[in-house]
Chains A and B, each alone.
Chain A
């Protein structure tokens, strides 16, 4: 059995490192952080309302969908697919939060805990991807 295993090269239980997922999750985080910062400053103004910013959510959801498609394209990548799914869930929750506050926009009291959660989502994707590159735990 060992001979059969070694004859096939290193055993892979997890897909290899994917730079596109690493950078993609980091980029989503950058965009969300910048958006939340901007929305916090614009809270209560017409430019900060959900209606004035729906395009951002459409773009962001498209980016996350692309990340998910990329993750799904590789075998043995179930964990990353689930992690990207969690990110997508929270992007939608952020959108719903913004929508719920109507003319108030996205004040810090809503934005800060929402951003904190999305940071954890993105950090988990990046951490796991980096660990795949190193092939070791930290």
Chain B
């Protein structure tokens, strides 16, 4: 049975998005786009295997490569999440600067 690329891409994205949404909402477009590409590639691997153009071992290697690609998308997303947390923390500190300096009476920050 042929893989429904659209459905597979959406399924992969939605599963990942459950985890990412609260932590890194800004990576939605990136993750969605990359998962669509990976789903399309998985469908071409399946089609090639069904046509007998590649061996089972080769299909396994190619699918392993798509798994690695998926891990890269998730790793990058988690990194972007860390950067967002860093920016938020520094913004909070910057906002506190006048209060701290004012209370101390000199420019500590």
Contacts and interface: CB of A to CB of B under 8 A. Distances in A.
A93 B24 contact: no
Given A93-B64, A135-B87, A82 B37 contact: no
29 contacts: A2-B96, A3-B100, A3-B108, A5-B89, A6-B97, A6-B100, A6-B109, A10-B93, A11-B89, A12-B86, A14-B82, A79-B76, A82-B71, A87-B72, A90-B65, A93-B61, A93-B65, A96-B61, A97-B58, A113-B66, A117-B69, A118-B65, A118-B69, A120-B38, A124-B34, A125-B72, A128-B75, A132-B83, A137-B24
A122 to B, nearest CB: 9
Chain A interface residue number, banded: 35 or more
B5 interface: no
A114 interface: yes
Nearest to B76: A124
A114 B65 contact: yes
A79 B48 CA distance: 34
A110 interface: yes
Interface in B20-43: 24, 26-27, 30, 34, 37-38, 41
Chain B interface residue number, banded: 35 or more
Contacts of A124: 34, 72-73, 75-76
Nearest to B72: A124
Contacts of A52: none
Given A6-B108, A100-B55, A135-B83, 13 more contacts: A13-B86, A90-B65, A100-B57, A100-B58, A100-B61, A114-B65, A116-B38, A117-B65, A121-B72, A124-B34, A124-B73, A124-B76, A137-B84
A13 B64 CA distance: 31
Interface of B: 24, 26-27, 30, 34, 37-38, 41, 44-45, 48, 53-55, 57-58, 61-62, 64-66, 68-69, 71-73, 75-76, 78-80, 82-87, 89-90, 93, 96-97, 100, 108-109
| Cβ-closest 10 pairs across A and B | A120-B69, A117-B65, A79-B79, A124-B72, A124-B76, A137-B26, A13-B86, A117-B69, A6-B109, A128-B79
A90 B30 contact: no
A101 interface: yes
